[in-house]
Structure 1
Amino acid sequence: MKIDLHSHTHYSDGHLSPKELIDRAHNMQVDVLAITDHDTIDGIAEAQAYQAGQKRKLHILPGVEISTSWHNFDIHILGLHVDHHDPIFLQRLAAQSAERDRRAQQISDKLAKVGINDVFADAKTMAGVGQVTRAHFARVLLARQLVNDMEAAFKKYLGKGKKAHVSPQWISIDEAISWIHDAGGKAVLAHPGHYDLSTKWLKRLVAEFSLAGGDGMEVIHSHLSPEKKKLLADLASQHQLMASSGSDFHYPNRWTELGKNLTLPSQLVPIWRDWNLSGTI
């Protein structure tokens, strides 16, 4: 069974619609797909409705990627198998969306001070039905030929300490875990190998996440060295965290693909161990 528990649609910073994401999951022969947009579950019902008319089975797992703050680092927590109809959960996510808009307006204001005007309006247009993220700002800067690539947009304008950086006011890791558990889901530390953390700080993050009641961590995700994979597997075992794997798919490219190279180390307990993943949802 091919399982991918981390993907995005255009409801956050992914490029594909839920329909297009499902079609690609079928093409890649994925059996279980978690849709985990940033701080929103808006794409899940659309994906489920589309899948209901398909012949090939695909289990769509409702999920979300919640933004949190931890010692001045932005840390993402996946909520997997959440009740995406829960009114309290939806209200809480709406507050996260409001914070995104507040931050986006401040980023736009800072860009205006250096002579780059109306970026928020263009970013909202580019985001369409989705939430505005820093990636949309980077795309606007790229489209205006103010930078040569997305990475340059962050290095020059959007990254920490740069001209248009705005520190977000996200919730704590503890609060995110509580939200996810209240919605009946499992809390998973997203892509721990991608944060700009030393090994010492990564170990501290995993330890504190576990003590806060976290359920699992992604030990397999894109662009991991063999050494980092071993470190993450060892940390999951040490802190008795279940293991998850996900591509963190945003759009088709040569580096990241749905369901590709996501096999978990055999000694770890998969986060989906107790879930019924048969059938089409």
Structure 2
Amino acid sequence: MQNIDLHVHSSWSDDADYSVSNLIKIAKTEQVSVLSVTDHNSSSSVEEAIYWGHQNNIHVLPGIEIDCSFGNNNYHLLGYGYRRHSSDFTDIEHNFNQLQQAATPIKLEKLKALGFFLNEEHLFSLAGDRVPQEEEMAELILEDERNAGHSLLVPYRKGNARGDMPLINFFWDFFGKGKPCHVEIAFPPLQEMVEVIRSNGGIPVIAHIGANVKSGHTDVISEMIKVGVMGVEVFSSYHDNDLRQQLYHYAQDRALLMTCGSDFHGKNKPKIRMGSCKLSLSESEKVNEFLEHVLLY
């Protein structure tokens, strides 16, 4: 049975660590045979992934993960098998970076208002030519000795309740919707991003719905199908077995495509391992049905 992972991130993403070449090496170690590097709002990894995939006998599927809005929430939309050289995805990346740059000063002010010390010069140095990310902010805040006694940071210290994945947990707890440092960003509408993917010969798939809403998952997906979403990431690190089964039967009944993905990032999500979906035979068959609709390199 193939080990397939269609949702991993390289350093072309704003919050991941590994170069594409190192990512492919990890995939080889984990015996992943089919991989898609789905960087956030960027298709810049595609050519590298194909090249290094060939060097390591790993089939590569061009991918991207786009931040978008739908209803009153933000979601991640995966795009697979699109035309690799389309300028549409360059435009998406440029727009996303502009939105993030505008939001960064507001995020920093909100962190300061909570009494957190943060070396901004070091933050921008770490980010280099990228927009500083919330996980980088969290890392510097947790490392700064001036914050050692701050009560709000206790849960993120080693051995405490949120200390298993402190950086991403900090992100969710402080920057998530309704949280104290949240900044509302006008991400592009999901239906527009669906159209971009489909008009470039790709397949739009909604990512890890269980990470975005706590209930009514299939109700949300039903509305997304109406605007052209063609598949569901059924098998995800964020979905327990009950949700996997619910999504599996929902997708099967509606002839929706099914995909699997770990959402591997590196140190920001240390508990997530590449190639960790562990599909049953019937589940693997469904993912392979999806792969029949795309071109692997």
TM-score range, shorter chain: 0.7 to 0.9
The equivalent residue for 2:50 is 48
Q: Is the 8 A contact 2:9 2:37 kept in 1?
A: yes
Please state how far the C-alpha of 1:178 moved relative to its aligned partner. 0.9
Pairing partner for 1:261 from 246, 267, 277:
277
Please state how far the C-alpha of 1:275 moved relative to its aligned partner. 2.8
Q: Is the 8 A contact 2:4 2:32 kept in 1?
A: yes
CA RMSD of aligned residues (A): 2.6
Counterpart CA distance in 1 for 2:169 and 2:293 is 43
Pairing partner for 1:36 from 27, 35, 38:
38
1:82 aligns with 2:82: yes
Kindly tell me the number of residue pairs found equivalent between the two proteins: 274
Q: Is the 8 A contact 2:10 2:23 kept in 1?
A: yes
The equivalent residue for 1:161 is 178
The amino acid of 2:167's aligned partner reads M
The equivalent residue for 2:192 is 175
For the structure 1 residues 157 and 260, does the alpha-carbon distance in structure 2 shift closer, same or farther, using more than 3 Å as the test?
A: closer
Pairing partner for 1:235 from 250, 265, 272:
250
Counterpart CA distance in 2 for 1:57 and 1:37 is 21
**1:227-249 deviation digits (Å, cap 9, x = unpaired):** 11111112212333100011111
The amino acid of 1:41's aligned partner reads S
The equivalent residue for 1:219 is 234
Structure 2: gaps (5+ residues): 148-152, 157-165
Structure 1: gaps (5+ residues): none
**1:42-62 deviation digits (Å, cap 9, x = unpaired):** 23333334445x2x3112222
1:275 aligns with 2:285: no
For the structure 1 residues 29 and 267, does the alpha-carbon distance in structure 2 shift closer, same or farther, using more than 3 Å as the test?
A: closer
1:1-281 → structure 2 map (5 Å cutoff): 1-12=2-13, 13-52=15-54, 54=55, 56-116=56-116, 121-128=121-128, 130-144=130-144, 146=147, 147=153, 148=156, 149-150=166-167, 153-154=170-171, 157-198=174-215, 200=216, 202-251=217-266, 255-263=271-279, 265=283, 268=286, 270-277=289-296, 281=297
The amino acid of 2:235's aligned partner reads I
The amino acid of 1:261's aligned partner reads C
Please state how far the C-alpha of 1:121 moved relative to its aligned partner. 4.9
The amino acid of 1:63's aligned partner reads G
For the structure 1 residues 207 and 30, does the alpha-carbon distance in structure 2 shift closer, same or farther, using more than 3 Å as the test?
A: same
Please state how far the C-alpha of 1:18 moved relative to its aligned partner. 1.1
Q: What TM-score comes out, normalization by structure 1 length?
A: 0.86
Percentage of matched positions with identical amino acids: 27
Please state how far the C-alpha of 1:103 moved relative to its aligned partner. 1.9
Q: Is the 8 A contact 1:81 1:185 kept in 2?
A: yes
Matched residue SS, 2:7 = coil
For the structure 1 residues 4 and 239, does the alpha-carbon distance in structure 2 shift closer, same or farther, using more than 3 Å as the test?
A: same
Q: Is the 8 A contact 2:118 2:141 kept in 1?
A: no
Q: Which segment is superposed worse, 260-269 or 73-82?
A: 260-269
**1:208-257 deviation digits (Å, cap 9, x = unpaired):** 11111111111101143221111111221233310001111111777322
